[in-house]
Amino acid sequence: MDKKSALRAELERENGKPSVVCTVHSHAWSASRRYHVILKISGTDEGGAECDTVATEVPGGSEPAAHEDTSVHAPLLPSQEVAFGQLMAAHAVDGDSCLLGAQAGGKTFLVRHFADALGYKTHTFFCHKEVPATDLLQRRTTDSTGATVWRDSPIVTAACLGELAVLDGIDRLPPGTLAAALGPLLTSRSVCLPDGTRLVTEAHWKALSNDKECDLSGIRRVHRSFRVFACAEPPTMRHRWLSDEMLTLFGTFVQVPQLTLGEYQSILPNPNHSGIVTLLKFEAAVRAVATEDPVLKVAQPSIRQLLRAARQLAAKPADTVSVLQRTTNVAMLAMPAAAREITKQLLRNAASDAGISLPAVSVIGSTSNNVSTPGNRGEVARDVRILQEQAISLRTAEMWGQYDKGLELTIERGSERLAANRRS
């Protein structure tokens, strides 16, 4: 039995369900055009007994890969090491993975850690409920001369280059869209593209290239290093997106654990500051309430927002109230009035527990002594929605390789005007 078969046998016991908790022990990089990585994976079985370490060679990306101590900006937390090991194990047996975790749970961090460790360049496709199925493969656009052409999606680009495709938010796609567009590519590494060309496996490509009568002009091969990671929130009773059809598309579903209070504190530079204590209490309260009312989920501070708030408080420790308002009030503008009042009360309760007295806030930048009129509130909310739509358009353009400098300048000017209106 070769090394890969031994690894597969260890990882796919009990009807294909992994019974081994995997951790990555060492890497060895080869000096070649692409990185080939030696993974040594070990762990314990369900009875707690040590399993034999299995070493196998896996494909990597074409980016300069770094060692574990310098490959990412922060180390893996203890609860994330198991999930990272499962991603490595799925990669070792040539499988794609789907990461399931709550909002701000560290899914993107795990993907970046994987990509940095194996030298992969990531190509991200941001999913939304109105995305057409064809856009997952190709999109109709215009070139520099104004002629209409088909442009490859980030997923197809990653497939041809042998890089890592990231599907961000597949739970937001309409039912059946992912399977209809990417089912063949995920399961058999072959698919017909809207422009009439075909993607085939390397083995199929070699067989066709040996046939002198075969025309290869409309055929492209999928690189063996190509992998797909999907990120999504776990299914709920209200949104049962994880159907039997979806379960067949990915080899491994990795549950990303929700960070505990201690883990949040370990990544923040000043966890004992009253403002940080307030935000952590507020995050836990919103997460608990959002299980019953998903509308409130938008108010849950992300890890990025917490880190930004921690840096601001480290620079100006006395600016606690202002930092709390900047961190939480933007999300409130997009919420219905009833949900906004619930969120404000949760923030006041968290601040009170931390010994902070917050002023009565109606909208961003206003207090009980300086209340904005309904007209001003409507203008601010409208400006925020316009900026959100423009930011989505800019991110979509960048995703398709069409950077729009003019739109970026428009967003910057709009942000400056909005900030000026809040100050006034």
On the question of pLDDT at 231 being above 90, the answer is yes
Residue range 220-228: average pLDDT?
Answer: 93
Q: Is the pLDDT of residue 298 over 50?
A: yes
Residue type at 1 in one-letter notation: M
Share of the chain above pLDDT 90, in %: 22
The pLDDT score that the predictor gives to residue 143 is 80
In 10 A of CB 407, how many CB atoms? 15
Beta-bridge partners for 191: 199
Distance in angstroms (rounded) separating the CA atoms of residues 183 and 248: 9
* The pLDDT of residue 361 is above 70: no
Instruction: Give pLDDT tens digits for 200-219.
Output: 999 999 888 888 888 888 89
**How many residues does this entry show for the chain?**
424
| pLDDT for residue 230 is more than 90 | yes
Instruction: Identify the pLDDT of residue 228.
Output: 96
Residue 99 has pLDDT above 90, yes or no: yes
Q: How far is the C-alpha of 308 from the C-alpha of 318, rounded, in Å?
A: 16
Rounded Cα distance, 317 and 305, in Å: 17
Mean per-residue pLDDT, 155-164 = 94
Pairwise CA distance, residues 183 & 231, whole Å: 16
Top-confidence residue, 304 or 138: 138
48-52, 57-61, 208-212, 322-326 — which is least confidently predicted? 48-52
Residue 92 — pLDDT band, cuts 50, 70, 90?
Answer: confident
Q: Pick from 159-173, 377-391, 405-419 the range whose average pLDDT is largest.
A: 159-173
Q: Which residues of 255-282 are buried (b: 16+ CB within 10 A; e: fewer)?
A: ebbebeeebbeebbeebebbbbbbbbbb
Q: Band the pLDDT of 28: cuts 50, 70, 90.
A: very low
Inform me whether the pLDDT recorded for 321 exceeds 60.
yes
What integer pLDDT is reported at residue 63 of this predicted model? 72
Please, which residues have CB within 8 angstroms of residue 214's CB and are 6 or more apart in sequence?
Answer: 208
Question: In degrees rounded to 5, what are phi and psi of residue 54?
Answer: -115, 125
Tell me: the pLDDT tens digits for 368-400?
Answer: 444 444 455 566 666 766 766 667 666 666 666
CA 225 to CA 239: how far, in whole Å? 33
Measure the CA–CA gap between 250 and 98, rounded to whole angstroms. Answer: 6
Residue 88 has pLDDT above 90, yes or no: no
Higher-scoring residue by pLDDT: 71, 277 = 277
| For the chain, percent of residues with pLDDT exceeding 70 | 69
Note the helical H segments in 291-319. 303-315
Please state the rounded mean pLDDT for residues 269-279.
86
Burial class of 418 by CB neighbour count within 10 A (0 to 12, 13 to 18, 19+): middle
Give the relative orientation of helices 303-315 and 274-290 as an angle to the nearest 10 degrees. Answer: 160
Query: Strands, E, within 80-194: which ranges?
Result: 97-100, 122-126, 138-142, 148-152, 164-168, 191-192
Q: Among 119, 112, 46, which residue's Cα sits nearest to residue 84?
A: 112
The answer to whether residue 300 scores a pLDDT higher than 90 is no
Which range among 22-26, 46-50, 138-142, 389-393 has the greatest average pLDDT? 138-142
For residue 313, name the pLDDT band (cuts at 50, 70, 90): confident
111, pLDDT greater than 80: yes
Please give the average per-residue pLDDT across 78-83, as a whole number. 82
Residue 16 CA: distances (Å) to CA of 9, 52, 55: 9, 19, 20
Residue whose entry in the numeric block shows the structure tokens 């800019």: 394
In contact, 99 and 231? CB cutoff 8 Å: yes
Q: 129-138, 259-268, 299-308, 399-408: which range is least confident on average?
A: 399-408
pLDDT at 329: 77
Report angle CA 229, 56, 54 to the nearest 5 degrees. Answer: 105
Average pLDDT over residues 78-97: 85
Quote the CA–CA distance of 339 and 325 in Å, as a whole number. Answer: 17
Query: Alpha-carbon distance 225 to 60, whole Å?
Result: 6
Distance CA 362, CA 335 (A): 13
Q: How confident is the model at residue 24 (pLDDT cuts 50, 70, 90)?
A: very low
**C-alpha triplet 39, 44, 46: angle, nearest 5°:** 135
Cα–Cα distance, 293 to 284 (Å, whole number): 14
Closest CA to 91 of 22, 156, 157, 44: 22
Q: Which residue has the tokens 């999913």?
A: 127
More confident position, 281 or 269? 281
